Structures are given as C-alpha cells and as structure tokens.
A and B are shown apart, each in its own frame.
Chain A
Amino acid sequence: MTQSPLPLITIVTFLPLVGALFMLFQRRDDTATLKRTALIVSAITFGVSLLFVVRVGPIGGFDLAQPGFQYYERYDWIPAFNIGYEVGIDGISLLLVLLTTFLSPLAILSSFEAIKDRVKEYYIFMLILESGMLGVFISLDLFLFYVFWEVTLVPMYFLVGIWGGGRRVYAAIKFFLYTMAGSILMLLAILWLGINGGSFSLPTLLQNNSWLAGAPEMALFIAFAAAFAIKVPLWPFHSWLPDAHVEAPTAGSVILAGVLLKMGTYGFLRFNLALFPNASREAAPVIAVLAIIGIIYGAIVSFAQTDVKKLVAYSSVSHLGFVMLGIFAFTPQGLQGALLQMINHGLSTGALFLMIGFLYERRHTREMEQFGGLWKIVPVYGTLMLIVSLSSMGLPGLNGFVGEFTILLGTWAANPVWAAVAATGVILAAVYILTMFVKMFMGESRNEENLHLVDLTQRELWVIVPIVIFIFVIGLYPNPFFQTMTASVSALLQPLGGSVAIAP
C-alpha cells in the first residue's frame, strides 16, 4: 500500500462537506452567490481529484502496475471497537471517484434554473451527498464504509422529497426504506466479521483470512448482497428505482443513476467478491440469471413506457444487469467491461436525464406523445440527444459499445449461453431507444407548443458537452481506462480462480 505526501483522499472527500458548512453561513436570499459557491466547490474538488491521475511535482499520479491501495491513510477513530478511518483507492475505485467528482459539478450547474425553492438547502444537500458518495468509494474500513453508505441516504432522501415531482414523498420514503432494509442486514454481517475476523479493516481481513474457514460464508454473502442488490438494483429488487428516478429533480436523477447505483455494483466487487470467494462462486449462476432477467425485463418495460424519464429509468435496470453479469462472469474481460460500463452508464444515462430535464424545464411534460419533429425545431438539442441515445444503446465508436462488448466477451468465456441470451438485450435496447427517438424527434410536431421551443442555452451546453466528449473518448480510445484497472482486477480475480467456466 502506497502512501502519499498529501492526504489527497481526505482532501477530496471532505472538500464538498467543508463547502457545505461554509454555505451554511451564506445569506439565504443571495441565490446567485449560493449557486456559484456550490459550483466552485465541486469544480475545485474535481480539479483536485485529477491529481490522482496527473502527477504535479511530488504530488499525484497513479501507479498502474500496483494492484493494491494507493494514497493509503489510516487513523484511529473509535479504538474501543477497533474502528479506524482507513481509506485508499485502487484501480477499481479510481474511476468511480473521478466519475463522482466529474458528474457533481455538472449536476449542480444543471440545477441553476430548475431549482427556485430553498436554494441554499438544495446545494448544501448536493455537496453533502458528494462527500458521502466519495466516502463510499474510498473507505477500506467496513464500519466507515457503512457510515458513508447510510449517510448518502439522507441527502438523497431530501433531494427527492423536497424538490421532487408530484409523488415525491412516496418515492423518497420508498427509496429510504428499501435501501435501509438492505443495508442494515449488511451491518449485521459487518458485525460478524468484526467479531470473528478481529478487525473491520478490509486489507487486514483479506490478508489474514483464517476466519473464512468455518464461517457461514453464504449467509454473510447474502447479507452483503442484500444491501448491494437493492442499490444496483438487481431484478427483482428494482421497484424503488423508477419511482425515485421519476420523482427526483433532474440533478437528483443524474446523481442517482450516475453514481448511487454504482455504489451497489462497486460493493459487489469490493466486498462480496473479495471477502467471500467461495460463496461468490456458488452464487454466481443465480446472480447471473437474475442479471439476465433484469437485462431483458428492463428493456421490455422500457419499451412500454410513455414517459421518457421512466423509459430511461427502466433502461438503467437493463444496463446494470449487464454490469452484474460482467462481474459474476469472473473473467478479466467481464470484470473490466463491467467496471467500464459502470462509468459509461454514469455518463450516458446521466446525460439522458440531463437532456430530458432540459426539455422538461421548457415544456413541463415528459410524455413522448406530446413531442415529435423536435430535431427540426431544436437542432443542437436533437443532435446531442442522438449521440447520447446512441451511446446508451451501444453503438460502435461510442462508449456504451466498448463496455457491453467487453462484458459479453468476458461472459462468453465463462458461459456462452448467458452471453447469447444477454446479447438480445443489446437488440432490445436499440428497439426502445430508437422508438423513443423517432417518436420525439422525427416526423411532425404533435403539439403547437413545441414550435416555440428554444435550443440549448450556453449554460446547458456547458453541462452536456463535457459528457459528450467523454462519450467519444471512451468509445474511440478506451485503452487508458482499461489500463487503470488491469492490475487491481487481476488481483481481485486470483482467489476466485479465474473463470468459472460452467459448461452449458
């Protein structure tokens, strides 16, 4: 484990929180300053987080050959329970940290016009949420991880519950209860590990895993999986997702789809696979089947939607199914593809939610029936929407393709039947995405009001263009992204015995 001269992780993680505390003392009615502060704080956080990959003098940089944790820090927190503030990042968490710091300022910038009520609280919650999410990805202590995991719940609950749509209270409570039900089972498993493994520290537990012999491994696996499967969400634990997504404000949806769901898949990678290799192998077929059902179910239900935001919400279920399938294929390609697809989904779906949000701010409806022929009316919007949609669909040359293709490649090596069935999901995705695009952007406008739509403003372009750039970069030249994870992924796969080729 490598340490750094600067506690870079701590700085990045807590910068937004410090910003939020600072904002507490700003004037409530000066909304312009409030917005600016939030944007600047999150932008600085992104800037600092770039130091993880870009070396400046003695600080920063990322050692690609190193599979272990870098920027490692550890301090005692609650010694009575043997709990420490222990953080570090490796190739698995690096990209997710960057995704979080990248999407947060964009999400904040996208809310400048949409949020008019209780502006101060809104941005404070956004910043707290960012700190919480970063904390999840950097924690190496199980207890600390749990704390951050739960802490993300509260701001998200408020974001949905206060600034959400018509059924926001219902959606917020449902989101909270679902997530808590899963995570609290994980707490019990963490307790068990702390007592019987003698430590809450993930590196320690992995290094000295004598506790594994005679442990109720499957029960522990399930307890952890309960928390993560609900978060992902793995079919059939997904029913909170469409509600939360549809009711959440745009930025909330972006963060929810972009980062929060990844906390689930990340949890599987970081904890389930690493801590319980035997149970992971045993459970793999079940999870793979659930993932495949999710892929197809999500796609079909997406197709049936009339509300475009719901369509995108259900498509998340399908996309995350791919990620889960890639993870539980236990092949290097599968895992790498899954990791990259986590990033891709964050970008593409995040962008889709942003675009839908822009449209909703203008027309106050998301019913596809209400639109039509938009491309002619708002050409810039139409072009960008096309790119983003195609990226979500997995068109070669764009990011989604690279991820899905690598996943399917890795899954094929493990089990060709899984890969074959899952591949139909790609086709179905083309069906629902293209149908949506045709309905909304081609043909003639079905509503008078559409004719007065204005194209994207400069601020909106600032929000969406950075994402589109990355959609192209990953699609055309994904190698650097794969390189960051190679070492960590192969280290992770070692105890799992490489591929679990289960012949059909």
Chain B
Amino acid sequence: MTILAAFGMIVLLVDLALKRAQKPLTAWLSLVGFGAAGVASLAIMEQRGSGFGGMIALDPYAQVLGLVAILAGALTVLTSFHYVRDRGIGRSEYYALLLFSVSGMVMMAAAHNLIVVFIALELLSIPLYVLTGFARPNVESEEAAIKYFLLGAFASGFLLFGIALMYGASGTTDLERIAQGIAQTGASPLALIGAGLILVGLGFKVAAVPFHMWTPDVYEGAPTPITGFMSVGAKAAGFAALLRVFVSSLGGIQADWVTLVAILSALTMIVGNIVAVSQTNLKRMLAYSSIAHAGYLLMGVAAANRAGVAGALFYLVAYAFTNIGAFAVLSTMARPSGEDQTFKTYRGLYRRSPALAVMMMIFMLSLTGIPLTGGFIGKYYLFLSAVEANLIWLAVIGVLTSVVSAFFYLRVIVDMFMREAEPQAEVEPVSYRPLNFTVNLSAAAVVILGVVPMAVLTLVTTAAQLLVG
C-alpha cells in the first residue's frame, strides 16, 4: 500500500514540477521519481500486506514486476533524452506520460482485484497511445497511435466484459475470493467464458497470437525509445495480471484452460518467429520477436506451476534489459530526418562502432537464448516449467521455434560483423552519454543475469511462492 501511495505522489509531484521547469530538467526530475519509487519498492520488498480494502496487494511478486516497469521507465528516459530533443518533441508531457504509464504498470503488478486490473490497464495504456503518436509530424507515428488506440479500446472492452461475466459467476471481483469460490463450486460456464474474455483482453496487451495484429505497425511507427518501453513494460504488466488471474485465482481449474493457453502459446511462438524471418526492417523484426517472446512467457502461464511463474518473472527481467538495450542501439542509428532501420543500415557496424556492435550482439544472443546470457536462463526456466507440467510437446515447439529465431537474430550479427557497408548507405551511430549508459548497463545486466543469476533467481522464486504455494 505504502509503495503505491508514495509512488503516486511522486508521480504527481514530478508532474507538477515539470510543467514549470526547464525542459531538460524535467527528464532528470522524472528520473528522480523513478529512482525514489525504485528505492521505496526495494525497501519494502520483503513486506506483505494489502491496501485499499484488499484491492491492492503488497508482496514481493508486485515489487519484482513493479521494479521491472520502473526500470524500463527509467532506462527509457535515458534513451529518450536526446532522441526527443533532436526531433523537437521533447515536451515535458513526454516524461509525465511515461511516469503515468509506469504507475499503471506498477498498479497492475499489485492488482488484487479485477476492477483494479482494469483501471491499471487503462492507466498504463492511455499514456502509451499518446506516446506512440508523439512524433507528431510523422504520419507513421500518428497512424500507429490511432491503430493502437482503436484496437486497444476494443481489447479493453473484452476485458471489461470478461470481468463482468466473472463477477456474475462468482459474485466478486476479488481475486482471492474468486479462487475460493472456484475451489468450492468448480467452474461455471459463465466463469469460463469470463476467463476467456479476460485472456483476450490481456492477450492483446502482451501481443499474443491471434491478438497481435497491431504490434508490427505500432512498433514501427512509435518513437524508438517508446517502442522499447512498450515492448517491455506493457508486456510485464500484461503478464503480471495474466499470472495473477490465471495461475493464482483460476489455478484450481487449470485443467479447463491449460489447453487453450498452451495452444495460444504455441501459436504465438510459431507465428512470431516464422514471420520474423522474412522481415527486412529491424524494428519490425523486433516487433515479431516480441510477439514470439510473449509465446515463451505464455508457456509459463500454461504450466501454472512455481517454476512457470518464477521463470516468467525471470524472463521478464532479462527481457527488459535485453529489449531496452536493443532498442537503445536502434535509437543510436535513427536520424531526425527519418529512420532507416533496415538490416542494410547495420552492415559493417562493427567497423564503425565496435563497442556498439558487440553490445548489440549480446542482446541478439540473449534473445536467441545462448548460454551465459540472461535470456538463456529465462528460457531454460520456462522450458523447465513446461517439462515439469508435462507439457513436453509445448516445450518441443518452444525449442524448435528457438532454432528458427536464431536465424533472424544471427542475421543482425552477420550484417554487423560479416558484411561491409555500402559507402553511400553508411549511417554513423550517434553517441550520447545517457544513451550509451543505457546500452552498456543493459548489456552488463544481461551477462550478469546469465553468469551469476542467483540473486534474481532467489527473488523470483520467493515471488512465485505467493502465487503457487
């Protein structure tokens, strides 16, 4: 409880301040906000409790996911700093919206009531719609925003309808009481339909197939730092709710929904990875890759065991660093005059900027799931959960699609290291300190998570115990 209140106030204060302050200052102020929220969240990591009449849970699970969102927000501020300035879109609202969106994500992580899930979803989404369209003179950005908004609103409707049906079936929107009711009476058809609609609504947020249609266009159109933020934060928040609702509340009737989620997971992995193969634009490729990663995460939901939850949490942490880092690299290659994110742009990057290319290589290897990166441990944990839950066929699809994914992640490495740039197409990456800091920090974190993952593993295991006792 305390954390959320504190966090909300920080957001508001910062927001107030930045209206008046100098423009660069607002970014730093928002960073302070993120920092304070992060520290507060770390401080109460071990505490447990609830607030607002049980609507908000205070537990390590909420803190871990909250921290992922806060981290994503903070790193995005660092990546955005020059990006928005160079494009003349560095208005203070940018950072305020970012803060609001993150507060929605933190709220989502702590939501213990379906109503709060819905409110949090709106709180995180609406700023994101605006942020997507922030590169205003840019038509693609506007198109992306409209598309995101329309489909997002549609998905919200699904979610709300699902919540209503769930309420009709169980007489409550409190997640724990839903679980108790199900334990006593079993699942009514009404509750199942409700659960299905909730799955659709949240599936849209995390970009699961077949609710993924918006992803490539929105990712491509949005300002690059925002794309990175969206791919991490929105996914973390979506899975926060998915895991809480399905694993914790509906865990009693896992048999009824496991096949559906498993099929969704399989489809997401297959479609995401296979379509990514044929992309020529790096931003679009990463969009499909983000779809595919939603599939791996869904594996943890389907397994619905402790390893599944802990694995998904670890994966989200690793994925946050990896993707934010990767998009930060993309940001260095973007020009205010227009972005050319085709693979060609990256040819011979190693010659021009060895450090950047090596970092990007680390991110790509982590996304592929090569050992000694955080992505590998995360994937490993999720496969472990699937095998444990006897979903071996799903794990097999997971590993096979991983091989497919190696193809397009390697292509980035091939272009950076093994091909030479065409002279006229050479793009010199920009170099700003906050941006480089994000890239380096993310790469270091990815490697640390892969080599000495114990600290984070302990954290996510404690968090998972809450959901699966």
Contact = CB atoms under 8 A, between A and B. Distances in A.
A188 B396 contact: yes
Given A184-B399, A188-B387, A161 B407 contact: no
A384 interface: no
A187 B380 contact: yes
B198 to A, nearest CB: 30
Contacts of B419: 169
Contacts of B400: 181, 184
A157 B453 CA distance: 26
Interface residues of B, number: 32
A162 B417 contact: yes
Interface of A: 78-81, 146-147, 150-151, 153-154, 157-158, 161-162, 168-169, 172-173, 176-177, 180-181, 184-185, 187-188, 191-192, 194-195
A147 B392 CA distance: 21
A172 B407 CA distance: 11
Most B Cβ at <10 Å: residue of A79, A177, A191: A191
Interface in B416-435: 417-419
Interface of B: 365, 370-372, 376-377, 380-381, 383-384, 387-388, 392, 395-396, 399-400, 402-403, 406-407, 410-411, 414, 417-419, 453-454, 457-458, 461
A191 B387 contact: yes
A80 B406 contact: no
Contact of A176 (B384, B410, B417): B410
Nearest to B396: A188
30 contacts: A78-B377, A78-B453, A78-B457, A80-B457, A81-B384, A147-B371, A151-B370, A154-B365, A161-B417, A162-B417, A168-B418, A169-B414, A169-B418, A173-B411, A173-B414, A177-B406, A177-B407, A180-B403, A184-B399, A184-B400, A184-B402, A188-B387, A188-B392, A188-B395, A191-B383, A191-B384, A191-B395, A192-B387, A192-B392, A194-B384
Q: Which 3 A-B pairs have the closest CB atoms?
A: A147-B371, A184-B399, A80-B457
Contacts of B454: 78-80
Contacts of B392: 188, 192
B458 A187 contact: no
Q: State the main secondary structure of chain B at its contact with A.
A: helix
B239 to A, nearest CB: 20
Contacts of B384: 81, 191, 194-195
A177 B403 contact: yes
Q: State the main secondary structure of chain A at its contact with B.
A: helix
B403 to A, nearest CB: 5
A102 B287 CA distance: 46
A176 B419 CA distance: 17
B370 A153 contact: yes
Given A79-B454, A177-B407, A181-B403, A187 B370 contact: no
A172 B418 CA distance: 10
A224 B370 CA distance: 18
A147 B399 contact: no
A180 B406 CA distance: 8
Contacts of B461: 80
A465 to B, nearest CB: 34
Contacts of B458: 80
Contacts of B388: 195
Contacts of A153: 370
A73 B159 CA distance: 54
Given A161-B417, A195-B388, A185 B370 contact: no
Contacts of B381: 81
A438 to B, nearest CB: 38
A149 B405 CA distance: 19
Nearest to A178: B403
Contacts of A187: 380, 383, 399
A81 B454 CA distance: 9
B321 to A, nearest CB: 18
Given A169-B419, A173-B407, A187-B383, 6 more contacts: A78-B454, A161-B418, A168-B418, A181-B400, A192-B387, A192-B392
Given A79-B454, A80-B454, A162-B418, A188 B370 contact: no
A192 B392 CA distance: 9
A168 B370 CA distance: 21
Nearest to A161: B418
Contacts of A181: 400, 403
A169 B414 CA distance: 7
A147 B395 CA distance: 19
Contacts of A194: 384
Contacts of B377: 78
B88 to A, nearest CB: 39
Contacts of B370: 150-151, 153-154
Contacts of A176: 406, 410
Contacts of B395: 188, 191
Contacts of B383: 187-188, 191
Contacts of B380: 187, 191
Nearest to B392: A188
Contacts of A150: 370-371, 376
Most A Cβ at <10 Å: residue of B400, B406, B458: B406
A218 to B, nearest CB: 14
A189 to B, nearest CB: 10
A181 B404 CA distance: 9
A79 B457 CA distance: 10
Contacts of A168: 418
A81 B371 CA distance: 15
A350 B458 CA distance: 46
A396 B411 CA distance: 48
A194 B395 CA distance: 15
A300 to B, nearest CB: 31
Contacts of A79: 454
A158 B417 contact: yes
Contacts of A173: 407, 410-411, 414
A225 to B, nearest CB: 15
Contact of A184 (B387, B403, B414, B453): B403
A195 B402 contact: no
Given A172-B418, A176-B406, A184-B403, A195 B457 contact: no
A161 B372 contact: no
B38 to A, nearest CB: 24
A314 B365 CA distance: 31
B318 to A, nearest CB: 14
A81 B388 CA distance: 13
Nearest to A164: B418
A99 B458 CA distance: 40
Nearest to A168: B418
B141 to A, nearest CB: 34
Contacts of A146: 371
Nearest to A80: B457
A180 B377 CA distance: 16
Contacts of B407: 173, 177
A87 B414 CA distance: 34
Given A80-B454, A187-B383, A188-B396, A151 B406 contact: no
